[in-house]
Amino acid sequence: MGQIGNRIAYLREKHSLTQEELSHKLDISRASLSHYEKNRREPDYETLGKIASYFGVSIDYLLSRTDDPEVTLDQEVGVFVDSLELSNEEILDKFTLTIDGTKLSEEEAKRFIAFIRAERSMRTAL
């Protein structure tokens, strides 16, 4: 696992919060937070977003893509990267993405892609 747990623990301690306090604010269990901080488990995309929002840092910082907590992907670069993904209806129509026999909507496909990106980033940060 990468440094994500170290970064979460650092931010929590920097803000003088206990695991119990932070887990309550994030609406997750204290045990889950402990597992994240000890790099035993990785938070899902939604939880990553909550952590980043709470501390006012970028997800890129949590994933160790940058050491600057405020740096995010440049907007123009983000638009370009998104255009390369399975994120528009024309491409999604060519590939039938389904879960439990139901086709994913464009929005669901975008969230799925974002989740996979986050998961891969965490693995490569090892």
The domain ranges of the chain are 1-126
- Give the model's pLDDT for residue 1: 44
For residue 95, the model assigns a pLDDT of 64
Fold held by 1-126:
434 Repressor (Amino-terminal Domain) (1.10.260)
Alpha-helical (H) ranges within the chain are 4-14, 19-26, 30-37, 45-55, 59-62, 75-84, 89-94, 106-124
Per-residue confidence (pLDDT) for residue 33, from 0 to 100:
96
Does residue 125 or residue 109 have the better pLDDT? 109
Which pLDDT band holds residue 81 (cuts at 50, 70, 90)?
very low
Model confidence, pTM: 0.56
